[in-house]
Amino acid sequence: MHNAELAELLALQSEQASGNAERALRRASRRAFTWHTEAADLMTEGRDLTELEGVGPFISRLLKEWLDSPAAAPDPPPIRAGFLSMAQAERVLAERGPTHWANNPKGDLQMHSTYSDGYAAITDYAEQAIELGYQYIAITDHSKGLKIAGGIDEATLSRQAKEIDAINRRTSKQGLTVLKSIEMNISPDGEGDMTPASLKKLDLVLGAFHSKLRYKQDQTDRYLKAIRNPLVHVLAHPRGRIYNFRLGLTADWDQVFREAASLDKAVEIDAFPDRQDLNTELLAIAAAAGVRISIGTDSHHPRQLGYILLGLASAAIAGIAPERIVNLMDLDDLLSWTNSLKKLSR
């Protein structure tokens, strides 16, 4: 029994519980996707399941029961379907071998600092990125329209740019460039909330929907408008789904991805474990459309940069061509791509 199946059992159990137990079970169900070891392997080795992050005696007892008499876990409902676990992703990447592209990303293209709703300074991300051997990271704080996430305005964005310049003077010696970027809030009409002048100073612009994410009708039109917004380079967490919380939007994905490909835009794999948006299923459609793919962890703390493995494994499973993955480009190539888009937006 794999961690993803245990996650489903934990989620089902939470539906029978209430209060603290319900919350603990829901949290453990989410956390199971972040464990690096299969709980089953841990048990075979005679180790304690409380070694797993977020597992106390209560959850450990349940996991042990299920692992002692394994039965096939039911298929998850759509709101929990199509999520890879870290243990699974690490297995997929190990099978590909150390020289495979999926084991050699050059950077991470979505993370949040204390400028918006992140829990770390830009310099902390830079240090961790150097550890990971990256050429670049993009700092993508929320834009001003997203008040709930501490979105920043144009003045703050330019203050941040000065801080990034100062950091780059130090980190460039170690081969790392911090990219000026943003996760701009996009209205359902495809409109951004920042002045074009402020966006043109950035290296990379992500655009993302954060409202009206529970519509059930086809949203193709909204996606085409966002993709056609000349200031946006990457459509971030396209569906807006969140594990066991929100299903996300639907669209004619083939049409959306083909439009993005024809405009040379990228669509994102938000590799945060609860999001995995796009996931392998939609990435297979993206692979056929030949659209560029940008991978970002959506980290809110440097320790979450490790979630990139979920994005890389999904891309590998879906058969994305490596030359279509933005994060495999050298810095110069990445910047010439975004500069070519910026020229078109004049």
Rounded CA separation 278/294 (Å): 10
Q: Which is nearer to Zn ion, 233 or 258 (CB)?
A: 233
Q: Comparing C-alpha atoms, which of 325, 305, 328 is closest to residue 315?
A: 325
Can you give the binding site for Zn ion, defined by CB under 5 A? 208
Residue facing Zn ion at closest CB distance: 208
Q: Which is nearer to Zn ion, 106 or 300 (CB)?
A: 300
The CB-of-275 to Zn ion minimum distance in angstroms stands at 9
Q: Which residue has the tokens 């704080």?
A: 141
The CB-of-279 to Zn ion minimum distance in angstroms stands at 16
Taking the chain, what is the end-to-end CA distance rounded to the nearest angstrom? 54
The CB-of-86 to Zn ion minimum distance in angstroms stands at 21
Q: How far is CA 138 from the centre of its chain?
A: 13
The CB-of-272 to Zn ion minimum distance in angstroms stands at 9
Q: Which is nearer to Zn ion, 38 or 268 (CB)?
A: 268
329 secondary structure, DSSP code:
S
Rounded CA separation 208/235 (Å): 6
Q: Which is nearer to Zn ion, 117 or 254 (CB)?
A: 117
75 secondary structure, DSSP code:
P
The CB-of-141 to Zn ion minimum distance in angstroms stands at 10
Q: Which is nearer to Zn ion, 22 or 117 (CB)?
A: 117
Q: Which is nearer to Zn ion, 208 or 305 (CB)?
A: 208
What are 270's two structure tokens?
Answer: 């938000």
Q: Which residue has the tokens 């999926």?
A: 102
- Please report how the helices 19-31 and 57-68 are oriented relative to each other, as an axis angle in degrees rounded to 10: 60
The CB-of-337 to Zn ion minimum distance in angstroms stands at 22
The CB-of-240 to Zn ion minimum distance in angstroms stands at 8
The phi, psi pair for 294, rounded to 5°, reads -115, 135
268 secondary structure, DSSP code:
E
Amino acid, single-letter form, for residue 326: V
The CB-of-148 to Zn ion minimum distance in angstroms stands at 11
39-50: buried (b, 16+ CB within 10 Å) or exposed (e) per residue? bbebbeeeeebe
- Please report how the helices 19-31 and 3-16 are oriented relative to each other, as an axis angle in degrees rounded to 10: 160
Q: Comparing C-alpha atoms, which of 284, 311, 285, 289 is closest to residue 298?
A: 311
The CB-of-114 to Zn ion minimum distance in angstroms stands at 17
Q: Which is nearer to Zn ion, 157 or 208 (CB)?
A: 208
Sheet strands side by side (includes 136-139): 107-108, 136-139, 177-186, 204-209, 234-235, 266-270, 292-296
Q: Which is nearer to Zn ion, 32 or 208 (CB)?
A: 208
Q: Which is nearer to Zn ion, 90 or 141 (CB)?
A: 141
Rounded CA separation 231/206 (Å): 9
